[in-house]
Structure 1
Amino acid sequence: MSRAMQTCLGSCHCGAVRFEIETDFPELTMCDCSICRRKNALMVKVHESKFRLLAGEESLTEYQFHTLTARHFFCKVCGIYPFHRKRVTPDNLGINVFCLHDFDPAGIPVRQAVGAGMP
């Protein structure tokens, strides 16, 4: 089922980091890697051209592990994880849909991504 393209606003908990994405929400993903299991985030993949950081670049801190390829971003103030730059497709971001304002993930297919088994 094709969904209409939507523009969504998102933020961390304290509002220091604010962003905007454009997507038709083809699917959501959950990853089984060590950090994603602990974050328990539900993600939508968005091309970097469809992502705009509106505020808070100075409030972001970055965490990398394993191959040091994926870039996981957190708010320094409230600790919330709003997005990451993907490892396999670095021109895309994984957006934590629980950081999107007034977003309901009901009805969008969820795919289990395999991260733990990646070399």
Structure 2
Amino acid sequence: MIYQGACHCGKIGFEVEGEIGELMECNCSICSKRGALMWFLPRDKLRLKTAEADVSTYLFNKRVIEHHFCATCGCAPYGEGTLGGQTMAAVNVRCLENVDLSAYKINHYDGRSL
């Protein structure tokens, strides 16, 4: 399935191909403040539909995850990092169109304690 996504103002548009399985809610300082519900998949399954120049990036803590956001509206639709040697995307499913969040199991991750 292909999902369409964007930041709030639409400056960052993208599509993601795959089947949403379980979602992850992290309690680290950035994820909890953003209210992100993350879906992890290989980075090559996420395709930007807008210019990469429109994507701003924030690094913090161990500086291993690139938290991407829109400098115009502040929305953070996805991030990138490496897991087990594979580049992964962490898509905030709240930024995807027509996704019923109640249909998915949400796993809680204790990122605050790391």
In the superposition, the TM-score normalised over structure 2's length comes to 0.91
Q: 2:9 aligns with which of 10, 14, 29?
A: 14
Alignment map for 1:22-101 (pairs within 5 Å): 22-86=17-81, 88=83, 91-101=87-97
2: distance between equivalents of 1:50 and 1:65? 25
2: distance between equivalents of 1:86 and 1:39? 18
More helix by share: 2
1: distance between equivalents of 2:48 and 2:5? 10
> What is the identity percentage for the equivalent residue pairs of Structure 1 and Structure 2?
32
Q: Report deviation, 1:17.
A: 0.5
User: What does residue 3 of structure 1 align with?
Assistant: none
Structure 2 unpaired stretches of 5+: none
Give the CA RMSD over aligned residues: 1.5
Write out the 4+ residue segments of structure 1 that deviate beyond 2 Å after TM superposition.
86-90
Q: Report if the CA contact (8 A) 1:22-1:46 is conserved.
A: no
User: What does residue 116 of structure 1 align with?
Assistant: 112
Q: Report if the CA contact (8 A) 1:45-1:93 is conserved.
A: yes
In the superposition, the TM-score normalised over structure 1's length comes to 0.87
1: distance between equivalents of 2:97 and 2:21? 18
